[in-house]
Structure formats: structure tokens, C-alpha cells
A = this chain, B = another copy of it.
Amino acid sequence: MRPPSVSDVARRAGVSKATAARVLGGYGRVSAAIHAAVSAAAAEIGYRPNELARSMTTGRSDTIGIVVGDIANPFFAVAVHAMSQVLRAEGFGVLLANSAESLAEEKAAIDTLLGRRVDGMIVSPADMRESSHLRAIVDSGVPLVQFDRCAAGLAVAGVTADDRDVAAEVTHMLIRRGHRRIAYFTACETDSGRFSDLEEIGTGSVRERIAGFLAAGEGLEDTALEVVVGAVGAKRAQSLATEVLSRGAEAPTAMIASDSTIGLGLYTAARAAGIAIPQALSLVTFHDADWTAIAHPGITVISQPARRLGEEAARMLIRQIQTGDGTCAHRVVPCRIIPRGSVGDGPVS
């Protein structure tokens, strides 16, 4: 049961293979009569072009590879959705791969995609410190756009949010409100289990945020700013927060969550400990998740333009493919702070 090919159509229509191919492929000129005959023959036997074979000769696969950390993460889900829409509109299919935020899996995925001869790639590098595999993409002549994070020392296009700036802005706001003990929670892990150096943070976007956070706190006492790592999942975030909040006078009066899953953990921890938000604790989280609007009080969030970021990345890639232009434009899309009531005055106000 081999699917019908151009030859089959040609034979049935009584024309040469080339002629049939022309009408089937929609290129070259063919007389109306023959065109109709071939189309009819094709429809009769249910012909469908073999895109693989087509790719072989054209060199294009009309397929884009996308590698993200976790499709189940709403941020990526929305972004991927946006990318697909833009890409589909331009006639590209999408080959999706999950890296589970693991460098090894990311490498494997990229390898597979290169083997499939994708026309371009959008990748969210799991670790900004390793970029050899990304360089391999570029060396293969495949257009690449980094998404949400950028690898260090790699002259490749990218689309990111203004992580550093918005983190600094939020931190400044908290300081202005009188907070002098602020904790930033991230899912990133370090070898020691504690944070000591920015270099330990592999996720580019998170590193940027922490950089902004720390920069905003310059001039304050050493104890003012704290980074808590390893908050993987709501449960772990909750237990870490519970621990931190139990320090009494040493406990932070404000917390920033690096994603909404963590935010949920922090919120739950505060409630469980009977700590009032925003009177005794201020809370801000990245990502405008559902729950933040119905929590009591509503949670002040840093809304990430996931859709816009995705669209922008897709467009940037398309441009790169179409113009063959290798300029490594770097686009930054601003986040938006949505105040909802979870931020109150600190002790120094």
C-alpha cells in the first residue's frame, strides 16, 4: 500500500512525470486542459505530495524546531502557542522538543532537529554557561533565535523580557516601602544548596533577575537581600518559605517569587503560618497566574508578555530565514507590574 506518487498521477492523466509534477507542485506553466486532467487524476487516487522528498530537492523542510524547558509550564505553553501561530501562518510546521531544563536532553533534542534538517530553531537554553551545542546550530547554517534566555558570549539573536530591569524596579519599590529584609526565591539549584555567586545560576533569565534584585539593594546592609535557591515546585517552595519565615525578627518582610508555582508555595506558607499579607509580609511573584487574582489579598505580579515574546521570536526567525540575514538582533520586551494589594509597608516606612 505505497501512497500514490507523481508518477502514478502522471500515468493516470496520460502525461509525463514532469508535467504532472508541475501542476502538483504548483510551479512552471501548464495548459488549462492538462492542469484539469492532472488535478482530477490526483484527486481520484488521493495523491498527497511527499514533503520529505520535496525537502530533499529543495533543501528546505518548512519546519521549525522549538526547544523549551517545559511545555507544561504556562509561560512556555503560551509562548509556544504564539510561535506556532505565527510560524504556521508563514507555512512552517513546528517540531517541538522538551529539554526538561536538562542540558543533556537539550543537546539530544537539538541533534535530532538538526538531523531532521529544520529550517530554523528557537531554543530556550537550559544553561547559559554552555553554548557549544548552540554554536553547532549556527555552524550548520541553521538560523537560530534564543528565547527567554541567552547563552553567554554567543552572538546569536534572542528575545527576552526585561528581567533585570523589572526585578530591580520591584525591589526598589519594596525598599521604598520600607522593607529591609527581602528574599528572592528561585527554582535554580546550586551545588552547595545555598546562593553565593551569580555565576552559579545557569538559567539566564533568572540570573538577570537576581542581578537586578541585588543591584537594587546596593547600599543596604548585607543582611537586607537574600536569595533562596532550590525552590522546585510549590511544595518545596512552601517548606523553604516556612523555614525562612520562622526566623522571627530575622525573617524577611518581603518575598519575591521567580515564578508563579513558587509564588503559590510562598502564599500557602504564609497562610499556614498565620502571617498576614500584606501587613506582616509583602509578596510579589513573576507571572500573572490565575490564582494571583483571586487570592486574598490579590497578589501583586510581574506579568510576563509570553505571547508577545513568542510572536517576536517567531517573527525574528522568519526574517532571518527569508533574508538570510545573520544579524544577531536582540529584542527585549518589557514586563508589566500589576499591583493587587499584596505589597504593604515595611518597618522603616
Contacts and interface: CB of A to CB of B under 8 A. Distances in A.
A52 B116 contact: yes
Interface residues of A, number: 55
A249 B268 CA distance: 37
A112 B63 CA distance: 11
B77 A115 contact: no
A267 interface: yes
A194 interface: no
Interface string A275-319: 000000000000001110011100000000000000000000000
Contact of A117 (B50, B81, B88): B50
Nearest to A267: B294
Contact of A78 (B1, B48, B72): B72
Number of copies: 2
A104 interface: no
A232 to B, nearest CB: 15
A95 B97 contact: no
A242 interface: no
A71 B61 contact: no
B56 A115 contact: no
Interface string A13-48: 000000000000000000000000000000000101
Contact of A51 (B98, B116, B261): B116
A84 to B, nearest CB: 5
A84 B111 contact: no
A157 interface: no
Contacts of A3: 140-141
Nearest to A80: B71
The 8 A-B residue pairs whose C-beta atoms are closest, nearest first, are A291-B291, A96-B96, A51-B115, A72-B81, A77-B77, A290-B291, A72-B77, A72-B78
Interface of A: 1, 3, 46, 48-53, 55-56, 61, 63, 70-74, 77-78, 80-81, 84-85, 88, 93-98, 111-117, 136, 139-141, 234, 260-261, 264, 267-268, 271, 289-291, 294-296
24 contacts: A3-B141, A46-B136, A51-B116, A52-B52, A52-B55, A52-B61, A52-B116, A63-B95, A72-B74, A72-B77, A74-B77, A84-B97, A85-B98, A88-B98, A93-B95, A94-B95, A96-B96, A261-B290, A264-B290, A264-B294, A289-B291, A291-B291, A291-B294, A294-B294
Given A48-B140, A71-B84, 20 more contacts: A3-B141, A48-B114, A48-B115, A51-B116, A51-B117, A52-B116, A52-B117, A56-B56, A71-B80, A72-B80, A74-B74, A80-B96, A81-B98, A94-B95, A94-B96, A95-B95, A96-B96, A234-B290, A290-B291, A294-B294
